[in-house]
Chain A
Amino acid sequence: MARLIKSYIATALFLLLLLSLWEVGVHLFHVPFYILPSPSRILLVFFTRLPLLFSHGAVTLLEVGLGMFLGVTGGITLALIIFYSPFLESVLYPFIITSQMIPVFAIAPLLVIWFGYGLWSKATVAALIVFFPIVVNTVDGLRSVNSETIDLLHSLKANERQIFWYVRLPASLPSIFSGLKLGVTLSVVGATIGEWIGARKGLGFLMIQSNAMLRIDLVFASILTLSLIGLLLFATVRIIELRLLQWRRPRRKPKTSGGNH
């Protein structure tokens, strides 16, 4: 625990050092605020414009949330189909892989045309980005099950449904969570890109608008808000993960040898 706090302190000090250099540099070289605002100015803007950032942030958060939901449910469903049907796997997997060769950002303008300027086009961009790591990780997880464990379940006359709930799902949860942690950060990027292309609200929209008006301090304040949203989402996933996967953190070191009774 002491070591953990120590490492946090070190990180915080390093961050403080970087910010100080930035602050001093800006003042020393007289960099105008519409090129690079100082950290203190960004913080000031962040706090004075908090209501504005909050209302735009809420929109982005909603898009990310919806995108995550669509991407995760779609991804897990597809992973199950791929896992249980070798035929559909051979049909679908090449499509899923090649779909990743198309940059989602390149088709984002199309999505805005198809789904409009509102919530759905951004949620779709986020969903498309989240979906791939979820599919790949879930399939890997489902396949990670030891065949002897499945044999054991068969010898106990378990049916496929029981094998799924008792073995396959819990065994694949660790890799599903790896996919989720990757997906949750990417989905914030996805929603922001969606907003750059066409939106009436959201932090991406606010950035583009402020950029055009040379309010670079507000651009940075938006970036700060986006980072906070990303961190918040990541922390949420991590907390759920720790809750569900308690067994992966032994509370007690295994004894070296046993056998006496």
Chain B
Amino acid sequence: MNNERTSSVTVLAATGITKSFASPDKTIPVLSKVSISIPRGDWVTIIGPSGGGKTTLVKILAGILIPDSGKIIIEAKGEDPRRVVAYMPQNDSLLPWRTSLGNAILASQIEGRSRKEGQSEARELFGRFGLAGFENLYPSELSGGMRQRLALIRTFLSHREVLLLDEPLGSLDPLTRTTMQEWLLLVWQELGKSILLVTHDVDEAIFLSDLIYLFSRRPAHVRRHFNIELPRPRARTAQSLMELKTKILDLIHTETLNG
């Protein structure tokens, strides 16, 4: 499996993103001049306190929300960012009335491609994602881990370069979660996409990422970023990972105390 950093071309970047939400009596600033960039083929992770605006940034990158100021920069200029990114929401957002296969082909259907084409492409991924044989079941008939994998198939099949995964494993039990992390890593290396992952699990971030952005509390800005140059697969208990974990936890801790 090829794990070299292919290039340092930035496939997607956000500079100086500021966003606030209006509530009836005041405006709540959520993001304050956030800048991040995603190198092609890399795994980038945002960690930060919950309710801290991570999801808001992802929604801005996905073209769902419009920032008050700041810019989204994509490699292919003038293109709609929504052609570059695929968004996987925090809950799996599977359509309960569609079978697994029907959910998987959603993106291709929206683009007006033929159902047959979408289905044959999806069937191939079902095998690779360990869901072969479950094509005709409804989401309610699948386990939590299977639902997440199905949501990932749907995300992959939108054929975008960057996958925005908003806490994709957040709802899973710890055991399933660890397995899914390893599995996700394999799939990522095989399919050669760029990933932006949102999580508040420090272990998950350091196990998976090339680059970690640590967000502050609301209004969020980037406090620090960490490049992790360790080869994969990584031992979860490796000395250098533990040191990094301590460092990040210390940073989170000091913010909590000073708040």
Contacts and interface: CB of A to CB of B under 8 A. Distances in A.
A247 B80 contact: no
A253 B138 CA distance: 11
Contact of A151 (B59, B173, B176): B59
B140 A257 contact: no
B64 interface: yes
A149 B139 CA distance: 14
A226 B164 CA distance: 59
Contacts of A257: 143-145, 173, 175-176
A166 B62 contact: no
Nearest to A170: B97
A252 interface: yes
Contact of A259 (B91, B109, B145): B145
B80 A157 contact: yes
A248 B175 CA distance: 29
A152 B63 contact: no
A247 B183 contact: no
Interface string A100-131: 00000000000000000000000000000000
A32 interface: no
Interface string B89-104: 1110101111000000
Contact of A152 (B85, B89, B141, B146): B89
A152 B93 contact: yes
Interface in A179-198: none
A148 B88 CA distance: 10
Contacts of A247: 96-98, 138, 140
Report the interface size class on chain A: 20 to 34
Interface residues of B, number: 44
Interface in A132-155: 146, 148-149, 151-155
Given A151-B59, A157-B82, A258 B183 contact: no
B26 to A, nearest CB: 22
Nearest to A256: B143
Contact of B145 (A152, A155, A170, A258): A258
A258 B176 contact: yes
Given A154-B64, A155-B64, A254 B110 contact: no
B144 A258 contact: yes
A156 interface: yes
A70 to B, nearest CB: 28
Which of A151, A256, A259 is packed against the most chain B CB atoms within 10 Å?
A259
B106 interface: yes
Contact of A156 (B106, B137, B144, B145): B106
A261 B184 CA distance: 11
B207 interface: no
B185 to A, nearest CB: 13
Interface string A166-185: 11001101000000000000
Interface in B166-205: 172-173, 175-177, 179-180, 183
Contacts of B110: 153, 156-158, 162, 166
13 contacts: A148-B91, A155-B64, A155-B85, A156-B158, A173-B97, A247-B97, A255-B143, A256-B143, A257-B176, A258-B143, A261-B129, A261-B130, A261-B183
